[in-house]
Structure 1
Amino acid sequence: MFKHTVTPQFLDIDGMKHANNIAIANWFDQAKTPLYRLFTPDLDLNPEKWKLIIVKAEFDYVGEMFYGEDVEIRSFITRIGNSSFTVGQEAWQNGKLRTKGQTVIVHHDYLSDKTIPIPASIKKLLEEHMEASDKASELSN
């Protein structure tokens, strides 16, 4: 499991005084950076190097998050396929689960515009962070 802490900024807060949905999606994306580095260590977005494409992202907003208090984003792998994997994520504030989500990411060659298999060496690294999504909350509390 990867953990990433964000501090909500004023611009992340909407008129209802809680974290905006777009801010939360951005925090989840920031927290996936260590996973992106498994595929492209220097994070170079050159199509010759970058090999990932997000094909699905969904979020369940369990509770509100507020300005001025850190949010811990927990990221883990829930599924590894031949050419794709699923990342489970949770946002915690003040010891409470506030948002959970999952993202399906495909290993993709932009130059040929084709899906490509995930190399065995990277699959092994992904497996080190594999957890059942319903157990991740229990394990890290």
Structure 2
Amino acid sequence: MFKINVIPRFGDIDGLKHVNNTVLAVWFEKGRNHIFRMFTPDLDLSYEKWKLILVRTDFDFIGQMYYGEDVEIRSYITHIGNSSFTIGHEAWQDDELKAKGKAVLVHYDFVNQVPISIPEDIRSQLEKHFVEEEDIGKI
């Protein structure tokens, strides 16, 4: 599992004084950086080097998050297929789960416009961060 802390910015807050729902997608994407590096270590976004494409993302709001307290983003792997894998995400504030979600990514060849199998060395790295479905939210 990967953990990062984000500090809600003043601009992340909405008129109801809590973290705006649009911010969570950005924070969860930031939480995927460690996984992005498995595929493209230098994070070079050139067409020939980037190896992942996002095909689905969703999240559920469980509680409100507020300005003034850091939010811990936890990211882990919940499924590994031939060319795709699923990343689970959680947002915690004040030791409480506030939101959870997932993102499905495909190992992708942008030059030829086709999905490609996940190499065994990367698959083994992903497996080190695998969390069983029944353990989600308990970590």
Instruction: Output the TM-score relative to the length of structure 2.
Output: 0.97
Alignment partners' CA distance in 2, 1:134 and 1:44: 35
- Distance in 2 (CA, whole Å) between partners of 1:77 and 1:122 is 12
- Using structure 1 for the length normalisation, give the TM-score: 0.96
**Count of residue pairs the alignment pairs up:** 139
* Contact 1:91–1:99, Cα closer than 8 Å, also in 2: yes
1-structure distance, mates of 2:38, 2:97: 27
* SS in structure 1 at match of 2:48: coil
Q: CA-to-partner distance for each residue in 1:33-87, whole Å, 9 max, x for gaps?
A: 0000000000000011001000000000001000010000000000000000000
Question: Structure 1: which 5+ residue stretches go unaligned?
Answer: none
Q: Hey, what's the Cα distance between the residues in 2 that align with 1:27 and 1:6?
A: 7
Distance 2:2 2:52 in 1: 19
Distance in 1 separating the partners of 2:134 and 2:100? 10
Task: Name the counterpart of 2:52.
Answer: 52
Offset at 1:133?
3.7
Report SS of the residue matched to 2:129: coil
Q: 1:66 to 1:77 in 2, by over 3 A?
A: same
Where do 1:108-123 residues align within 5 Å?
108-123=108-123
User: Where in structure 1 do 4 or more consecutive aligned residues deviate above 2 Å?
Assistant: none
Aligned Cα root-mean-square deviation (Å): 0.8
Which structure 2 segments of 5+ residues have no match? none
Letter in 1 for 2:96: K
Q: Measure, in 1, the Cα distance between the counterparts of 2:81 and 2:126.
A: 11
Query: Structure 2: how far apart are the matches of 1:18 and 1:106?
Result: 33
Give the corresponding residue for 1:69.
Answer: 69
